[in-house]
Amino acid sequence: MRKNKMTMSKTIQELEPKAVWKNFANLNAVPRPSKKEERVIQFMLDFGEKLQLETIKDSVGNIIIRKPATQGYEKRKMVTLQSHLDMVHQKNNDTDFNFDTQGIDMFIDNDWVRANGTTLGADNGLGVATIMALLESTDIPHPALEALFTIDEETGMTGAKGLKADILQGEILLNLDTEEDDEIGIGCAGGIDVTATRKYKKKSPSKKDTALEVTVKGLKGGHSGMDIHKGLGNANKIMNRLLYLGAENYNLRVAKINGGSLRNAIPRESKAVVVLPKTKKKLKKFQSHFEQWIETIKQELIITEPTLEISINKVKQPKSVLPKEVQTKLLNALYAAQNGVYAMSAAFDNLVETSNNIARVEVDKGKINIACLTRSSVDSGKIDLANSLRAVFELADCKVSFSGDYPGWNPNPDSAILTVLKKEYKKIFKSEPNVAACHAGLECGILGQNYPNIDMISFGPTIKGAHSPDERVSISSVQKFWKFTLEILKNIPE
């Protein structure tokens, strides 16, 4: 296996543009899950210092590296190039992988680079690698560059939030975190974490009850912002539907639920341990109905989730179950809670304005924990939906808290750097770019609070399946992205 990994790493480093892929391979050898970025922070410090460039680590762990302008570009405006160091850590259930200690195992699949059973880290590693290639270049013309590598973008944007208002010097900010190579981003959604918790007194099940484990898996998952409109299955909602039907029709009792993982990832898997009153006839009837419910759900999702799997198997008797009243309120609340698109934008065609992702459901050992991520490009809409969720979960006697609130990025159609990008894109690729706002959370909204006069824009290569083990990046689009980036830097105004 070691030999295969080394060979594949070498193959990826030989892709064009070599300067970008080499740095991406080196970066992906460093474990960098969100909130555990110590090693990648040191990696970037070593990188900047080895180049003998001004290299700074700020108070929260962001890295800033500055490079002087090349000859003839000294009078051009300084450009801040920005990407985040952390990556979403998601893996398939049957993949043996430790994000805290292992580098990403990559392979080439026609025009795509993928990872073996895990997220790839192209979001936002390709942006980081591109900036690294520019910093170490000796033959690329460019104005003065300021690289900003932020931490913890994926789970709170604490790096952007912690960046002081007097540290950046650039007048133009190029955010390299957009995921379609024909798109120029001029706005994004804000977000807020909604968390519902409750404690309960455990109740012992009857020793005569039958214990079963319900498993939902095989869903695609994906980015809880960029993919929320695709009608993908949410493992937590599917599981709750099955438990609700079982409780309503067969007095099913819930012992444990473990569904989903990260707030910014649409949940792909969920497991629950339940018990049923033990009568052979009733159990057989339940299994028959359960198979019918499974088939109904599969047919509903046959187009968007063709590999959905739902199974039920006998397991060891659990030590406790939820009290019936607590269970009823919990299942009702999860059924009623908004998941998916809540409102579409009136300002932009086909843009989701407000949404929610029921990302994590944990029930065990006397505690309930439900984690959601609510997004909106309209701040009042974000708070309105968050309050709606709070009302639902408070009806289930949960304590509800809001945290991690961050603003959206208001579009500026009169941006000077937007004019440059539109002109260069049309000149190089003989077509018009798609100028758009997105439903993901970019750091531009937060950075704009402390730097209101900086002219910001976002673009990047084509990345599919971000925040899921199906994440992949198009090799040809990286070539396109690199060419576009070089032309933009040549045409930065004075």
Which CATH number characterizes residue 25's domain?
A: 3.40.630.10
Phi-psi region of 188 (alpha: psi -120 to 50; beta: other; left: phi over 0): beta
Indicate if 209 belongs to the active site: no
Q: Is 60 exceeded by the pLDDT of residue 216?
A: yes
Q: Is 70 exceeded by the pLDDT of residue 6?
A: no
Helix, strand and coil percent figures for the chain, each rounded to 5: 35, 30, 40
Residue ranges in 265-378 assigned as alpha helix (H):
280-300, 324-336
Instruction: Give the single-character DSSP code of 91.
Output: B
Task: Tell me: do 25 and 168 sit in the same domain.
Answer: yes
Confidence of residue 406 (pLDDT cuts 50, 70, 90): very high
CB contact at 8 A, 208 and 317: no
Task: Tell me: do 169 and 233 sit in the same domain.
Answer: no
**Across 316-321, average pLDDT:** 95
pLDDT over 90 for what percent of the chain?
91
Task: Tell me: do 379 and 480 sit in the same domain.
Answer: no
Q: Counting Cβ atoms within 10 Å, is residue 336 exposed (0-12), middle (13-18) or buried (19+)?
A: middle
Confidence of residue 10 (pLDDT cuts 50, 70, 90): low
Per-residue model confidence as pLDDT tens digits over 142-179:
999 999 999 999 988 999 999 999 999 999 999 999 99
Task: Tell me: do 254 and 386 sit in the same domain.
Answer: yes
Indicate if 111 belongs to the active site: no
- So what's the pLDDT on residue 279? 72
Phi-psi region of 125 (alpha: psi -120 to 50; beta: other; left: phi over 0): alpha
Per-residue model confidence as pLDDT tens digits over 186-211:
999 999 999 999 999 999 998 889 99
Sign of CA dihedral 368, 379, 338, 386: positive
Q: Is 60 exceeded by the pLDDT of residue 287?
A: yes
Cα gap 395→374, rounded to integer Å: 19
Question: Of 380, 406, 432, which closes a domain?
Answer: 406
Q: Is 50 exceeded by the pLDDT of residue 3?
A: no
**Across 380-401, average pLDDT:** 98
Q: How many domains does the chain have?
A: 2
- So what's the pLDDT on residue 60? 97
- So what's the pLDDT on residue 8? 54
Confidence of residue 9 (pLDDT cuts 50, 70, 90): low
- So what's the pLDDT on residue 347? 81
Task: Tell me: do 270 and 297 sit in the same domain.
Answer: yes
Q: What does the mean pLDDT of the chain come to?
A: 95
- So what's the pLDDT on residue 349? 85
Task: Tell me: do 449 and 389 sit in the same domain.
Answer: no
Residue of 37, 86, 180, 193 marked active site: 86
**Across 393-403, average pLDDT:** 98
Alpha-carbon Rg for the chain in angstroms: 24
Query: If DSSP codes are grouped into helix, strand and coil, which group holds residue 359?
Result: strand
Task: Tell me: do 307 and 453 sit in the same domain.
Answer: no
Going by C-alpha positions, the residue among 328, 331, 317 that lies closest to residue 255 is 317
Task: Tell me: do 197 and 163 sit in the same domain.
Answer: no
Parent domain of 22 = 2-188+408-490
pTM of the full structure: 0.83
Residue of 153, 180, 424, 443 marked active site: 153
Task: Tell me: do 175 and 202 sit in the same domain.
Answer: no
Question: Of 338, 373, 406, which closes a domain?
Answer: 406
CB contact at 8 A, 271 and 242: no
CATH number of the structural domain spanning residue 338? 3.30.70.360
Task: Tell me: do 338 and 417 sit in the same domain.
Answer: no
Task: Tell me: do 36 and 178 sit in the same domain.
Answer: yes
Per-residue model confidence as pLDDT tens digits over 324-368:
999 999 999 999 999 999 999 988 888 999 999 999 999 999 999
Task: Tell me: do 217 and 153 sit in the same domain.
Answer: no
Backbone φ, ψ for residue 397 (5° rounding): 65, 30
Question: Of 406, 423, 442, which closes a domain?
Answer: 406
